């Protein structure tokens, strides 16, 4: 299929399908929260609110585990990576084949059993009870709150950006954004860039929806919405895969075409018209421009919205600092077939193009085959996208980082029996097989169908949904397909929100301040804490710190390096003691933070120092195990009654 | 003469023992599939610096290294998951949940401490 025939479809404008789907979806989660709240009335409040009374069955347990692990990155960032770097991303994500067996099977049965023996509800609870150490529980709570708060702010921002991306062409959304822009006019923090009102609107909608259903329904609402979200995600992929394959004429065609492609060059363009304009002339972001002046055809695509102001001849755009710049960023297509076939957009004026700067990809420029082999092209890294050491690091990281996440561990405490666990591990294995490998295929097809989205590769998922459904004359289906990303984001946000509020109410207030608080007090405090944490995260996300994606990676891997070794050893090693657990937790944390501090000082942004080319997660996890085992051996063995309680049959009770 | 009471050696919890055995198998499975994927992909799917190719051998439409190094092991893992989940992993009894017991113990200790101070 000629990819050029698709380009006009993109300009056909948005429909309200996405907003209708989103609204139906929100109504669905609210109904689930209401049902969950009714269950809360008849059960032990804290155990039900934070752990669903340890009664999750196969579907609920499997899908809440899968959905919590799949954040917005799975449907926005990951497709963007496949589109930008090609087939090698299959290796980058390849360890998801074994993630369910490892991250569920390694700890689940034992952590569930230990939590039942002690009556623990949260992860700090388990650690505190297992070692009879309030100090250890408090340190674990501190680490969870420290990492999770940053992560929650990042997720709120990520969710809002995704929603904004999905809705930006929807007429109703644009009207609402303009209305909000008028209201916020003159408020410095809230005004900001022209995209800010849309972002704030999405942030507000997302926050209200997630906080309301999480606070009202608790863990069970989160789990049930996860089930719905999990089904939406797999349904979206199952629909899009055949559409994408049909559109490219089969996967073999797409792969062979990708083998011919060469990466685009990054350019800065001067765009001008012969005579000054009387009215503002807009050149939209992602506009195709063609220069054909006898020296050969050159095809460009803009990566920012540019304007020629009244009385001017040259276009400018607002750069990251808010200044007007005449150097319009964009890309130049280098793949000969596309250069030949792509047509310019009709802009309404005769635009002259001058290339001010041109920068080739550092790895892969001018070489065919880079999109179907490793290490994959990269604009700025000489080693390419996935050199060998990083491939090994990611294989370890995705597998064991998931096992060490406290949000996942809590779920491992919530299933009802071992048969549920066995069926769930299998169900999640199949679920991930149906999600991740098909996503690689779909977005390899997208490279062929939709050229030039290196300008804004985070939009490739909604664009692909739009194009594939238009091709089969079912545009309404796009709404269902784009529901998958916001389902993924919400299922992660609600879990993190509940995790922080459980730390505040259970671990800080009930276990350290007022153990004899009445159930009514705990109930009120729980609702208040969930709403307060959500509101604070939203306010922080109004003007969030930079480098949020890096912060997400930092906090996710930091939690795993701090928690995996102490938790695994406390479950399986009777000789393990409090001192070893504390050393493992703080040793992993310190190593991880040190490597990030060194990396940040070297690069000037949140970055990891990769010792021996390995990700800090691997180095930190190794250090955590070494500290934990060494200190445990160097200190006295644990009290006999604890070993008997947690490792022996008929424990003395 | 009364017989001395036999010393009862405590037995390990079977759930603990089974979980430990399963954990060893899980680590071994990870090692096998990690080695398989990395070995195949790195040896057959990577270009040397400066190298380029315009044709690629495919299996089922995907580059052959991606099929043998990712697609096939992924399928095999799913089959192994059937064996592991339904034929190897044991359906152990996880016990009753002692809801609130940890908190009750904490409150009891608190009152013991108060009484001791009062004496």
* Structure ipTM: 0.88
In A, residues 627-646, which contact B (CB 8 Å cutoff)? 644, 646
Whether A113 sits inside 8 A of B95 (CB atoms) is: yes
Chain B CB contacts of A426 below 8 Å: 81-82, 85-86
- Please indicate, yes or no, if residue B63 is contained in any of the structural domains: yes
Chain A CB contacts of B22 below 8 Å: 105, 109
A341-372 pLDDT, tens digit each: 998 998 888 899 999 999 999 999 999 999 99
Chain B CB contacts of A649 below 8 Å: 10-14
- Please indicate, yes or no, if residue B6 is contained in any of the structural domains: no
Nearest CA in chain A to B65: A373
Q: Is the pLDDT of residue A25 over 60?
A: yes
Chain B CB contacts of A128 below 8 Å: 102
- Please indicate, yes or no, if residue B20 is contained in any of the structural domains: yes
- CA dist A601 and A494 (Å) reads 33
Q: Is A113 on the interface with B (CB under 8 A)?
A: yes
Whether A649 sits inside 8 A of B51 (CB atoms) is: no
Domain extent for B69: 12-48+56-94
Q: Is A120 on the interface with B (CB under 8 A)?
A: yes
Pinpoint the alpha helices (H) of A249-334.
251-260
The CA-based diameter of chain B, rounded to the nearest angstrom, is: 94
Residue A160: which pLDDT band, with cuts at 50, 70 and 90? confident
- CA dist A544 and A537 (Å) reads 10
Q: Is A430 on the interface with B (CB under 8 A)?
A: yes
Q: Is the pLDDT of residue A189 over 70?
A: no
Nearest by CB: A373 against B15, B46, B91: B46
Whether A388 sits inside 8 A of B56 (CB atoms) is: no
Residue A3: which pLDDT band, with cuts at 50, 70 and 90? very low
Nearest CA in chain A to B12: A648
Long-range contacts of A535-540 (CB under 8 A, 24+ apart): A535/A207, A535/A211, A537/A149, A537/A152, A537/A153, A537/A156, A537/A207, A537/A497, A538/A156, A538/A203, A538/A204, A538/A207, A538/A211, A540/A153, A540/A156
Query: What pLDDT score does A354 carry?
Result: 93
Count Cβ–Cβ pairs < 8 Å, chain A vs chain B. Answer: 232
Strands A297-302 and A288-292: antiparallel
Nearest CA in chain A to B90: A418
Mean pLDDT, rounded, for B27-32: 97
Interface residue of A49, A66, A92, A98 to substitute, partner B, most B CBs within 10 Å: A98
- Please indicate, yes or no, if residue B70 is contained in any of the structural domains: yes
Q: Is the pLDDT of residue A306 over 60?
A: yes
Nearest CA in chain A to B69: A91
- Please indicate, yes or no, if residue B43 is contained in any of the structural domains: yes
Distances (CA, A) of A505 to A141, A143, A224, A296, A513: 11, 16, 23, 68, 10
Chain A CB contacts of B20 below 8 Å: 572
Whether A109 sits inside 8 A of B19 (CB atoms) is: yes
Whether B46 sits inside 8 A of A374 (CB atoms) is: yes
Residue A9: which pLDDT band, with cuts at 50, 70 and 90? very low
Query: What pLDDT score does A149 carry?
Result: 84
Nearest by CB: B95 against A102, A117, A516: A117
Nearest by CB: A649 against B13, B45, B53: B13
- CA dist A347 and B78 (Å) reads 52
Query: What pLDDT score does A558 carry?
Result: 92
The CA-based diameter of chain A, rounded to the nearest angstrom, is: 92
Query: What pLDDT score does A430 carry?
Result: 95
- Please indicate, yes or no, if residue B69 is contained in any of the structural domains: yes
Mean pLDDT, rounded, for A142-171: 81
Q: How far is B117 from chain A (nearest CA, A)?
A: 19
- Please indicate, yes or no, if residue B113 is contained in any of the structural domains: no
**Mean pLDDT lowest among A109-113, A183-187, A284-288, A328-332:** A183-187
Exposed, middle or buried, A262 (CB in 10 Å: 0-12/13-18/19+)?
buried
Query: Which of the listed ranges A19-28, A97-106, A497-506, A603-612 does the model predict with the highest average pLDDT?
Result: A97-106
Total count of domains within chain B: 1
Taking CA A316 as the corner, what is the angle to CA A311 and CA A319, rounded to the nearest 5 degrees? 145
Chain B CB contacts of A425 below 8 Å: 81, 84-85, 89
Nearest by CB: B97 against A110, A116, A571: A116
Q: What is the mean pLDDT of chain A?
A: 86
Query: Which of the listed ranges A392-396, A518-522, A580-584 does the model predict with the highest average pLDDT?
Result: A580-584
Q: Is A58 on the interface with B (CB under 8 A)?
A: no
Query: What pLDDT score does B118 carry?
Result: 61
Nearest by CB: A429 against B10, B78, B91: B78
Q: Is the pLDDT of residue A4 over 50?
A: no
Q: Is A88 on the interface with B (CB under 8 A)?
A: yes
Whether B99 sits inside 8 A of A100 (CB atoms) is: no
Whether B45 sits inside 8 A of A118 (CB atoms) is: no
- CA dist B14 and B28 (Å) reads 21
Q: Is the pLDDT of residue A566 over 70?
A: yes
A259-280 pLDDT, tens digit each: 999 999 999 999 999 988 888 8
- Please indicate, yes or no, if residue B79 is contained in any of the structural domains: yes
- CA dist A233 and A239 (Å) reads 10
Q: How far is B104 from chain A (nearest CA, A)?
A: 9
Nearest CA in chain B to A374: B46
Q: Is A119 on the interface with B (CB under 8 A)?
A: yes
């Amino acid at each position: 299929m000629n990819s050029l025939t698709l380009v006009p479809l993109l300009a056909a404008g948005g429909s309200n399908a996405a907003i209708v789907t989103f609204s139906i979806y929100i109504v669905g989660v609210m109904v689930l929260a209401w049902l969950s709240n009714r269950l809360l009335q008849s059960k032990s409040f804290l155990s039900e609110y934070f752990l669903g009374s340890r009664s999750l069955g196969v579907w609920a347990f499997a899908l809440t585990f899968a959905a919590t692990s799949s954040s917005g990155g799975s449907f926005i960032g990951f497709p963007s990576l496949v589109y930008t770097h090609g087939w090698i991303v299959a290796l980058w994500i390849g360890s998801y084949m074994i993630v369910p067996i490892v991250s569920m099977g390694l700890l689940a049965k034992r952590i569930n059993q230990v939590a039942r023996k002690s009556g623990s509800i949260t992860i700090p609870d388990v650690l505190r009870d297992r070692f009879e150490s309030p100090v250890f529980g408090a340190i674990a709570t501190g680490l969870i709150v420290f990492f999770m708060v940053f992560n929650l702010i990042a997720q709120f921002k990520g969710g809002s950006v995704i929603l904004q991306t999905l809705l930006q062409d929807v007429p109703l959304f644009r009207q609402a954004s303009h209305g909000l822009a008028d209201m916020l006019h003159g408020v410095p923090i809230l005004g900001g860039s022209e995209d800010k009102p849309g972002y704030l609107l999405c942030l507000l909608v997302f926050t209200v929806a997630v906080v309301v259903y999480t606070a009202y329904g608790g863990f069970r609402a989160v789990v049930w919405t996860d089930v719905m979200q999990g089904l939406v995600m797999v349904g979206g992929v199952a629909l899009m895969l055949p559409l994408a394959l049909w559109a490219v004429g089969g996967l073999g065609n797409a792969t062979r075409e990708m083998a011919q492609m060469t990466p685009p060059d990054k350019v800065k363009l001067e765009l001008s018209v012969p005579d000054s304009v009387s009215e503002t002339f807009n050149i939209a972001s992602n506009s195709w421009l063609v220069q054909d002046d006898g020296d050969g055809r050159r095809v460009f695509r803009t990566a920012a919205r540019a304007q020629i102001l009244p009385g001017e001849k040259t276009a400018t755009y607002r750069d990251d600092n808010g200044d007007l710049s005449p150097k319009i960023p964009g890309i130049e297509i280098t793949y000969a077939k596309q250069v030949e076939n792509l047509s310019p957009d009709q802009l309404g004026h005769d635009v002259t193009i001058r290339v001010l700067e041109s920068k080739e990809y550092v790895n892969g420029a001018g070489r065919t085959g880079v999109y179907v082999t490793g290490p994959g092209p990269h604009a700025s890294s000489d080693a390419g996208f996935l050199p060998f050491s990083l491939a090994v690091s990611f294989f370890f990281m995705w597998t064991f980082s998931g096992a060490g996440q406290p949000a996942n561990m809590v779920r491992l405490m919530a299933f009802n029996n071992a048969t549920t666990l066995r069926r769930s591990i299998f169900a999640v294995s199949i679920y991930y097989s149906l999600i991740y490998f098909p996503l690689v295929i779909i977005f390899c097809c997208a490279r062929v169908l939709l050229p030039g989205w290196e300008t804004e590769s985070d939009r490739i998922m909604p664009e692909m949904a739009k194009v594939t459904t238009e091709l089969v004359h079912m545009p309404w289906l796009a709404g269902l397909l784009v529901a998958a990303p916001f389902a993924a984001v919400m299922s992660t946000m609600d879990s993190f929100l509940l995790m922080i509020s459980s730390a505040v109410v259970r671990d800080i207030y009930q276990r350290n301040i007022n153990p004899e608080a009445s159930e009514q007090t705990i109930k009120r405090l729980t609702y208040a804490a969930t709403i307060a944490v959500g509101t604070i995260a939203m306010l922080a996300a109004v003007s969030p710190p930079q480098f949020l994606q890096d912060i997400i990676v930092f906090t996710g891997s930091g939690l795993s390096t701090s928690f995996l070794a102490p938790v695994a050893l406390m479950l399986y090693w009777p000789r393990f003691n409090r001192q070893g657990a504390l050393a493992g937790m703080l040793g992993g944390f310190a190593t991880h933070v040190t490597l990030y501090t060194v990396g940040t000082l070297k690069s000037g942004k949140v970055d990891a120092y990769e010792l021996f080319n390995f990700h800090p997660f691997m180095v930190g996890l190794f250090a955590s195990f070494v500290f934990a085992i060494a200190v445990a051996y160097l200190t006295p063995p644990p009290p006999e009654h604890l070993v008997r309680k947690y490792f022996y049959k008929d424990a003395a009770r | 003469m009364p017989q001395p009471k036999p010393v009862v050696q405590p037995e390990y919890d079977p759930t603990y023992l089974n979980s430990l055995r399963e954990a060893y198998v899980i680590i071994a499975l990870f090692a096998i599939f990690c080695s398989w994927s990395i070995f195949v992909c790195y040896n057959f799917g990577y270009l040397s610096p400066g190298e380029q190719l315009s044709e690629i051998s495919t299996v089922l439409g995907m580059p052959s290294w991606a099929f043998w190094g990712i697609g096939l092991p992924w399928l095999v893992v799913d089959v192994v998951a059937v064996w592991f989940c339904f034929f190897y992993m044991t359906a152990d009894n996880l016990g009753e949940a002692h809801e609130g017991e940890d908190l009750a113990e904490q409150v009891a200790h608190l009152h013991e401490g108060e009484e001791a101070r009062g004496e």
